[in-house]
Every structure is written in structure tokens, then in C-alpha cells.
Chains A and B, each alone.
Chain A
């Protein structure tokens, strides 16, 4: 597990479309004393859209502006947040993936979303920085429009659930195992389970397939790597991955 990542995560998820977030006693009771509230910051001026994690110990019940919350979230689990945001934003940016959810008119939203998350991986989007944030804001806006059309009403409420699922999915990708939570508080209960090596090799293979080499030499390297077995790819990943992944 990367340094500083919590072994267990209790997360209450908060999303909003008006940049105001309300925290109730019940919300906080479910994550105290060492849990987090994951808040989806939407405002571009606060580097949104992005997720921040707020320790329950810093929070009191009440209504809060994004400005306040984003200041509170400064420096809280920065690495974990970056990883979550990368996976989450890739998913939001890959419209070809999430449109599949809204094409499943015969399914309930939850089922369609779970099906999509299990069967379709989002492509790694190469955009970075403020350009990526802008793209993400536009993509999130389109996602919300499609979501509203799909659910007919309560789009904003449903969105919280959708993001909760994607957040859970991101945590799984990062090596956490989600525990089912029948009472609904907190929204996510996750325990560190280590890397899913099979997933790693699949991810590597997909990334190699999506890689567009800039030179013939790189193209040859990609073809050689693609010819490797999953075990070989996993071994290669273990050798090459950054130290903090260990």
C-alpha cells in the first residue's frame, strides 16, 4: 500500500450542482472518528471538477460552500485523491463508455452502471492541467444532461449515487476491497486488499494497445510487449512501477 493511504476507508459521498454542500449529524456519525467525506468540487475556480477527502474530525454539521470545503481539503490524502481523480476523470472524459450506461433503457440506472463499470474500461485520457479540467467540466455537464434525460427526474440525487459507484470502482482499481453496507452509512466502506494483479496486466495490455508510438522503434517495442504473456507483463510492471506503488 502506498505510504499514507488508509488501511480502511469510511467515506460519505457528497455531490451538489449548486456548489453548496450540506453535512448532517447522521452523515458525520457514520464516518467518525477516522472516516472521510468525499466531496465533488464542481467550481472551476476551485480546480474542479475533482474529488477531495475531508477528515470527519475537521467537520461539523451544516451547510458549506465549495470555497470553504476546498480550503479544508488542502493537503488531505493528496496522492490518494490524485489517483481517485485520475480514474474518475478518465471515466467522465470517456463519453464512449458512459454513453453505454444511458443506452441501456431496459435496465435500471444502478444495474446499467454496474454492468458498464464491469465490462467497459475507460480510456486513459492524455489531457493534462487546466485543459483537462476544462474538458472534464464540459464532459461532466454533458454527463449530467444525459443522466437527467435517462432518469427523468431527481437527476441531481441520482448523480450522487452514480458518483458513489464510480468512486467505489476507482478505489477497487487502486487496490481496495469494498464491503457491502446494508444500512447505507457510510456510503463506502473499503479495506485495503492489495493490487489486483490480473487487473494490472489487463490494464497494461489495454494501455499498450491504446499507445500510439511516435517512432518506428517505439512501435516495435509496443508490438514486442503486446506479445508478452499476462505473467510477463505483471512481472514487468512490478519491476518498472514507481516506488510508491509498493
Chain B
């Protein structure tokens, strides 16, 4: 894989830069002299962020509140970093990363143009790391070393040192798999644990046994209940056979046809119950009882009816007798009387009308005659007349005879009217009695019809009209009704007695024959069938035993597989670590002379004139320990952080970075150093400048420094020199 070198970086409205800042980079060694407050750290941080998308963890930065935005540009301003790179094959890669605040949206913010291809989002990020050949979580491995990081990676935690060294050695491929293997191993061990827990909590065979025990307990309980009900323990060894035998005995006792072979026991129980019900219904005693019950049901309302009719007719008869004494009951006679009275009244009226007419005529004649008292002969026939006689006769006739007759007729009319009214009133009363009598007679006739054919039914026929008028007939009917009620009462008593006897006989039959059979059927149904059911459940459960054993075997096999896999993963991780450690040791051994030489030439420490890197394997990870060594004393192998000054540590870190990065296995084509000579005096600076130029094997080393003397020393050593001049209102002005 060809190494990429930085060509240009554009930073717009990020960190210290308002507007667009463009920085070009040169091949080989380049020093960019930048006094304090000219944005060298902003540039290196922008480079780092542009390459990785990560804001580095620095003690001075709170990553929750830290923003890359330039404060002067405003929040709406476009903010981005564009890094252009070129490799040995002259391929070009442009990385453009937009800044959108704390909430990263990789798809929206990152694009990579690689020759003719344009990638974005996660694909783009992966491609950057792939092209640069660095691990995703490596900052230093990207070749950009912040001032803050410079000493940290050499004196920091072992894991940090390991990352840097393995990155710089290009060992990323092997070590990348270790965390993955560890995760898989953890998962496999969790699986093992889960299976173990499952087997402990839900061992299929144990569960089978528990359930089997439950079913057996239930079976024993039912068996005991059956034994309490009278079954022998031996009978319950094969409850189905016992049930068949019991039901066969019951069938025999009930004289039922034998059961069909193989008939299900519940069906046979139902058959016997039905047979028993049929027996109860069809037994002679049952039939007789039903007949008696029917007869009683018939007689009881008849008795009530007969007594009711008897009492009602007797009372009516007494009332009718009283009415008979009080007046005429014969409606015909009463009707005739009324007609006679009406005729007499009509005649009376006609006579009175005649008399009134005569009286009028005579009164007129009388008046006329008085006017013609001198008349001597009749003007019509000329017969002689005597007016005074005629007037006298006329007066006598009108005032005496006619008046007397009219008075008599008026008296007669009054009498006749009273007699007629009396007859009409009587007729109404008699008709009401006849209606009542008619109702009673209808009921009696209906009852007679109902009891027709019964021995107590009367043969004599009664006519309603004659009954009404004839007291003797009515008395005979009362006597008939009394006789019927008496006979019915007696009949009912006899039937009731017979019923009692029948019931007693039936109870005896029930107690001696049917109830024992029914009890036996119930016993089979309620005591033996549950035993059979429980036994069937045990049998069904027994069939699941082999499946449970199979499941357990499978789980155990799975557990064994997981155990084997865990062991294999462990072996792979160990092998990888071993391989990496060997590779690392070899690479370090190869680079160690240059590293030590670099350190010695820069630090020129009187005691410690070399560096050593001890490789080790801890939990399948390769760890590195950096030591300062002394060739003069020999046994001075101390951890660098414990014995070196800040300047020497800077020298050691530069020695490591440049030494490792110049190795064969390192593919990174550039190294960006931010103030690498911090803490060094001018002598060390000069030594470092000379060493960088001498050892700077990476094709491109970009050094930012605020130290004029160091920049000058690098320049003197042959490095390309440029300068960032001034800063105004958030804008840096280049020279």
C-alpha cells in the first residue's frame, strides 16, 4: 500500500480561524514557525479532526461543551476542514468534513473523493482509515501528534503506549482482532453460563421427574380415594379392567345387554345410566305409580269442582225457593200479565178519547142550542123539537155521565199502570235469576260432560227451565251433586292411599335394586375413571421422557460445543497476541538502534544514553514498557517517566515516533508534530533538529513550533521553512 502525504489543508470557521485558512505542505521535512496565538494547535487539531472525526481527549477540553466552531464566524457560517493528500502512485484523496455541532451526522458531514470515486458517511470514514492504515480509535497513529499527546503516549497508561507503538509499527491488523475475539469469547462464556443456568433451573429431565412425581402424587391421591370407596388395591393395578368388570356386573344385575367389546368406559357408563333410567320409567311399579299419579291429578280438580258446584247450586236453590214464595217465577205468565195490562190500558185510553170527543161535540151542541132556544122544529127533518129539553139532556150527558165515566177510567188507568210496572219489575228480577241459574247449569253440564263415563256420573237429565221453576227437580239435582262430590272424595282418598303404597314399593325397589346399581355406576365414574385419567396422564407424560433426555443431551452438547469454542477462541487470541508480540519485538529490535541513537543524539544524557522497549503479553494483549538504558552502567533500566527530564522525555518521544514510523512495517507517509521541542533548551533543540533531518524517514514530517531557535535550527538542517505571522480579530495573517 502506498503512503499518503499531506498536500494541503483548508480550515474554514473552525477553532482559531475565521473565514478560510489554507495551509500547504511540502514533502520531506517542513517547519512552520508560528509564534504563540497564531493557530498552530488549531491547525493540528483541525487536521486530526478532519482525518478522524474525533475531538481528542485533552485535560484542558471538556468534550461535552467544547465546540470546534469559530466564535467570531457565527453559528450559521459554513464550517469545514478539507484535507488533500497524494500518494506515491500519484493518486489523490480529498477529505471534506463539515462541522455540524456536537451531534455528529457522518452521512451529512463527511465526503471523500478518491480519484474518481466519491464516498460519504461511514464508508468514507472506513476508507480513510484503510488508506492511512490506522486503527479507528487511534489518534497518534494518524500521524498527527498534538502537543498535549507528545509526552502522554510515552509516559501514559500502558494501553495508550501500546496503541501508539502498535500503530506506529503497523501492527493494526493483528491487534484489531483481539478485542473482537475477546467479545466473542465473552459471549461464548455467557452462553456457557446461560446454558449452565438453564440446565440448573430448567433441566428437562429434572422437570420431567418433578412433573412425573406430581402426577404420581395425584394418582396416589385418587387411588386412595378409590380404595376408601371400596376398591381393593389390586383392583387398581389395572383400573380399566376393573372398570370393565364392574360395569359388566352392573349390566348383569340390571339385566342390560352386555357391553360391546372395546367400548369406551365413559360410553358404557352412559349406556348403563340410560338403561337404568329406562328401567325406572318402564317398571310395572313405575307405570302403576304414573297411572295413579295421573288418576289423582284427574280426581283432585274434579273433587274441588263437584264440591264447589254442589255448594253453589244448593245455595242458589235456597234463594230460588225464597223467591218463589215472594212472587211469580214464570216469565211467560209475567209477560202475559204485562201484555194484558197494556191492552187494558190501551182500551182505557181509547174510551177516554171517545168520551172526550163526545164531550166536545156535546158541549158545542149545547152552546149552539142555547143560541137557538126558540127553534121549534129540526131544520133538517123538520121534526118538532123542544130546546129546553135538549139543553137539559145535553148538560146531563156532559156534566154527569161523561165526567163520571172519565173519572172512573182515569182511576182504572192508574191501577193498570201500577200493575204493569210491578209485573215488568218482577220479570227483570226473574230474568237475572234465570241468568245466574243458566250459568250454574252450564257449569254443571260441562262438569257432567267431563265426568261422562265415570261411575259416579249421573244418568238423570235435567231441563234448565223446569229446574228453574220446579223446586223438586232442583232438590234432586242438589242431591245428585252431593252424591257425586262424596263419591269423588272417596275415590281420591283411595287413589291417595294406593299412591302411598306404590311409592313405598318403588322406594323399596330403588333401595334394593336401582340405587345400588346407580351407586356402583357412580363409584366407577367418580372413583375409577379419575384413577384411569391420572394413570393415562402418567403414561402420556412417560412418552415425553425420551424427548426430555434428548433435549438435555442436546443442551449438554451445546454446552460442550461452547466450551470447545471458548477454548479455541482463547487459543486464537493467545496465538494472535503471541504473533503480534513476536512481530512487535522483531520490529522494535530492528528499530531500537535508531531510536536509541536518535535519543542519545538529542538528549545526550550523561546517565541514560539509550532507550529500550520491553514487549509483554497481558490478557492476550501486547503491552510495551519504555525504559531508559545506560550503556555505561549497564543495569540502569528505568521507566522513562521516572528518570528523564521534560526535555529528555520530549527527545525520547520524538525518538520513538520517528524511529518507529521509519520502520519497514509503517505505512504512514506523514507525521505532524506540534511543538515537539517543548521543554528543550537551544542545545537540545539543535540536536533534535539535526536528528529529525537525519532520521526523518517518513517521507513527510511537518513540524509546528513557536520556538524561533528550533525553527532556525531545522531550517539550518535543511528543512523547508515557512511562518505564520499575525492574528487579527480571529483571522490569522500569513507572511
Chain A contacts to B: CB under 8 angstroms? 44-47, 123, 125-131, 133-134, 138, 212-216
- Are B238 and A127 touching (Cβ within 8 A)? yes
Does more than half of chain B's interface fall in helix, strand or loop, or is it mixed? helix
Q: List 24 A-B contacts (CB under 8 A).
A: A44-B209, A44-B545, A45-B208, A45-B545, A45-B548, A47-B545, A125-B237, A126-B237, A126-B241, A127-B237, A129-B539, A130-B212, A130-B538, A130-B539, A131-B219, A134-B216, A212-B234, A212-B235, A212-B242, A213-B245, A214-B241, A214-B245, A215-B245, A215-B258
- Are B237 and A138 touching (Cβ within 8 A)? no
User: How many A-B pairs with Cβ below 8 Å?
Assistant: 54
Please list the 4 inter-chain residue pairs (A to B) with the smallest Cβ-Cβ separation, ordered nearest first: A130-B542, A126-B238, A126-B237, A214-B245
B248 is an interface residue with CB less than 8 A from chain A: yes
- Could you tell me the distance in whole angstroms from the C-beta of A156 to the nearest C-beta in chain B? 21
Q: What is the CA–CA distance of A213 and B205 in the complex, to the nearest angstrom?
A: 40
Q: Which residues of B contact A215 (CB under 8 A)?
A: 245, 248, 252, 258
Q: What is the CA–CA distance of A45 and B238 in the complex, to the nearest angstrom?
A: 23
B11 is an interface residue with CB less than 8 A from chain A: no
* CB 8 Å contact bits of B224-251 with A (1 = contact, 0 = none): 0000000000110110011011001000
B265 is an interface residue with CB less than 8 A from chain A: no
- Are A129 and B542 touching (Cβ within 8 A)? yes
A45-B545, A215-B248 given; A131·B539 CB < 8 A: yes
Q: Which residues of B contact A127 (CB under 8 A)?
A: 237-238
Q: What is the CA–CA distance of A192 and B722 in the complex, to the nearest angstrom?
A: 112
- Are B258 and A134 touching (Cβ within 8 A)? no
- Are A44 and B238 touching (Cβ within 8 A)? no
Q: Which residues of A contact B572 (CB under 8 A)?
A: none
- Could you tell me the distance in whole angstroms from the C-beta of B334 to the nearest C-beta in chain A? 90
Q: What is the CA–CA distance of A101 and B219 in the complex, to the nearest angstrom?
A: 28
Q: Which residues of A contact B541 (CB under 8 A)?
A: 130
B573 is an interface residue with CB less than 8 A from chain A: no
Q: What is the CA–CA distance of A216 and B255 in the complex, to the nearest angstrom?
A: 13
- Are B205 and A45 touching (Cβ within 8 A)? yes
Q: What is the CA–CA distance of A214 and B239 in the complex, to the nearest angstrom?
A: 12
Q: What is the CA–CA distance of A66 and B691 in the complex, to the nearest angstrom?
A: 77
Query: From residue 535 to 582 of chain B, which have CB atoms closer than 8 A to chain A?
Result: 535, 538-539, 541-543, 545, 548-549
Query: From residue 278 to 307 of chain B, which have CB atoms closer than 8 A to chain A?
Result: none
Closest to B251 in A: A215
Q: Which residues of A contact B205 (CB under 8 A)?
A: 45
Q: What is the CA–CA distance of A215 and B219 in the complex, to the nearest angstrom?
A: 27
Q: What is the CA–CA distance of A40 and B535 in the complex, to the nearest angstrom?
A: 25
Q: Which residues of A contact B238 (CB under 8 A)?
A: 126-128
Q: Which residues of A contact B241 (CB under 8 A)?
A: 126, 214
Q: Which residues of B contact A138 (CB under 8 A)?
A: 216
- Could you tell me the distance in whole angstroms from the C-beta of B223 to the nearest C-beta in chain A? 10
Question: Which of A45, A47, A131, A213 has most B Cβ within 10 Å?
Answer: A131
Q: Which residues of A contact B244 (CB under 8 A)?
A: 214
Closest to A128 in B: B238
Q: What is the CA–CA distance of A212 and B232 in the complex, to the nearest angstrom?
A: 12
Q: Which residues of A contact B245 (CB under 8 A)?
A: 212-215
Known: A44-B212, A126-B241. 14 other contacts (CB 8 A): A45-B205, A45-B209, A123-B234, A126-B234, A126-B238, A129-B538, A130-B212, A130-B541, A131-B535, A212-B242, A212-B245, A213-B245, A214-B245, A215-B248
Closest to A67 in B: B549
Query: From residue 506 to 558 of chain B, which have CB atoms closer than 8 A to chain A?
Result: 535, 538-539, 541-543, 545, 548-549
- Are B549 and A45 touching (Cβ within 8 A)? yes
Q: What is the CA–CA distance of A5 and B549 in the complex, to the nearest angstrom?
A: 30
- Are B237 and A133 touching (Cβ within 8 A)? no
Q: What is the CA–CA distance of A133 and B535 in the complex, to the nearest angstrom?
A: 12
Q: What is the CA–CA distance of A46 and B212 in the complex, to the nearest angstrom?
A: 13
- Are A134 and B212 touching (Cβ within 8 A)? yes
A123-B234, A125-B237, A214-B248 given; A133·B542 CB < 8 A: yes
Q: Which residues of B contact A212 (CB under 8 A)?
A: 234-235, 242, 245
- Could you tell me the distance in whole angstroms from the C-beta of A201 to the nearest C-beta in chain B? 23
Closest to B232 in A: A212
Q: Which residues of B contact A126 (CB under 8 A)?
A: 234, 237-238, 241
Q: What is the CA–CA distance of A133 and B545 in the complex, to the nearest angstrom?
A: 12
- Could you tell me the distance in whole angstroms from the C-beta of A137 to the nearest C-beta in chain B? 8
Q: Which residues of A contact B208 (CB under 8 A)?
A: 45
Q: What is the CA–CA distance of A134 and B538 in the complex, to the nearest angstrom?
A: 9
- Could you tell me the distance in whole angstroms from the C-beta of A205 to the nearest C-beta in chain B? 18
Closest to B552 in A: A45
Q: What is the CA–CA distance of A131 and B542 in the complex, to the nearest angstrom?
A: 9
- Could you tell me the distance in whole angstroms from the C-beta of B255 to the nearest C-beta in chain A? 13
Closest to B208 in A: A45
Q: Which residues of A contact B538 (CB under 8 A)?
A: 129-131, 134
- Could you tell me the distance in whole angstroms from the C-beta of B11 to the nearest C-beta in chain A? 72
- Could you tell me the distance in whole angstroms from the C-beta of A217 to the nearest C-beta in chain B? 9
Q: Which residues of B contact A131 (CB under 8 A)?
A: 219, 535, 538-539
Q: Which residues of A contact B242 (CB under 8 A)?
A: 212
Question: Which of A134, A212, A213 has most B Cβ within 10 Å?
Answer: A134
- Could you tell me the distance in whole angstroms from the C-beta of B238 to the nearest C-beta in chain A? 4
Q: What is the CA–CA distance of A216 and B241 in the complex, to the nearest angstrom?
A: 15
- Are A216 and B539 touching (Cβ within 8 A)? no
- Could you tell me the distance in whole angstroms from the C-beta of A75 to the nearest C-beta in chain B? 15
Q: What is the CA–CA distance of A45 and B543 in the complex, to the nearest angstrom?
A: 11
Q: What is the CA–CA distance of A47 and B205 in the complex, to the nearest angstrom?
A: 12
Q: Which residues of A contact B209 (CB under 8 A)?
A: 44-45
Query: From residue 29 to 59 of chain B, which have CB atoms closer than 8 A to chain A?
Result: none
Closest to B215 in A: A134
Q: Which residues of A contact B549 (CB under 8 A)?
A: 45-46
Closest to A216 in B: B252
Q: Which residues of B contact A45 (CB under 8 A)?
A: 205, 208-209, 545, 548-549
Q: What is the CA–CA distance of A212 and B235 in the complex, to the nearest angstrom?
A: 9
Q: Which residues of B contact A125 (CB under 8 A)?
A: 237
Q: Which residues of B contact A47 (CB under 8 A)?
A: 545
Q: What is the CA–CA distance of A131 and B240 in the complex, to the nearest angstrom?
A: 13
Q: What is the CA–CA distance of A85 and B552 in the complex, to the nearest angstrom?
A: 27
Q: Which residues of B contact A214 (CB under 8 A)?
A: 241, 244-245, 248
Closest to A46 in B: B549
Closest to A93 in B: B237
Question: Which of A130, A212, A214 has most B Cβ within 10 Å?
Answer: A130
- Could you tell me the distance in whole angstroms from the C-beta of B368 to the nearest C-beta in chain A? 138
Q: What is the CA–CA distance of A131 and B238 in the complex, to the nearest angstrom?
A: 10
Closest to B247 in A: A214
Q: What is the CA–CA distance of A212 and B543 in the complex, to the nearest angstrom?
A: 30
Q: What is the CA–CA distance of A130 and B238 in the complex, to the nearest angstrom?
A: 13
Question: Which of B208, B212, B237, B248 has most A Cβ within 10 Å?
Answer: B237
Q: Which residues of A contact B237 (CB under 8 A)?
A: 125-127
Q: What is the CA–CA distance of A213 and B244 in the complex, to the nearest angstrom?
A: 10
Q: Which residues of B contact A123 (CB under 8 A)?
A: 234
- Could you tell me the distance in whole angstroms from the C-beta of A6 to the nearest C-beta in chain B? 28
Q: Which residues of B contact A129 (CB under 8 A)?
A: 538-539, 542
Q: What is the CA–CA distance of A129 and B245 in the complex, to the nearest angstrom?
A: 21
Q: What is the CA–CA distance of A133 and B208 in the complex, to the nearest angstrom?
A: 14
Closest to A95 in B: B233
Q: What is the CA–CA distance of A134 and B545 in the complex, to the nearest angstrom?
A: 13
- Could you tell me the distance in whole angstroms from the C-beta of B417 to the nearest C-beta in chain A? 104
Q: What is the CA–CA distance of A134 and B214 in the complex, to the nearest angstrom?
A: 11
- Could you tell me the distance in whole angstroms from the C-beta of B528 to the nearest C-beta in chain A? 13
- Could you tell me the distance in whole angstroms from the C-beta of B207 to the nearest C-beta in chain A? 10
Q: What is the CA–CA distance of A179 and B567 in the complex, to the nearest angstrom?
A: 55
- Could you tell me the distance in whole angstroms from the C-beta of A145 to the nearest C-beta in chain B? 17
Q: Which residues of B contact A130 (CB under 8 A)?
A: 212, 538-539, 541-543, 545
* CB 8 Å contact bits of B189-233 with A (1 = contact, 0 = none): 000000000000000010011001000100100000000000000
* CB 8 Å contact bits of B667-706 with A (1 = contact, 0 = none): 0000000000000000000000000000000000000000
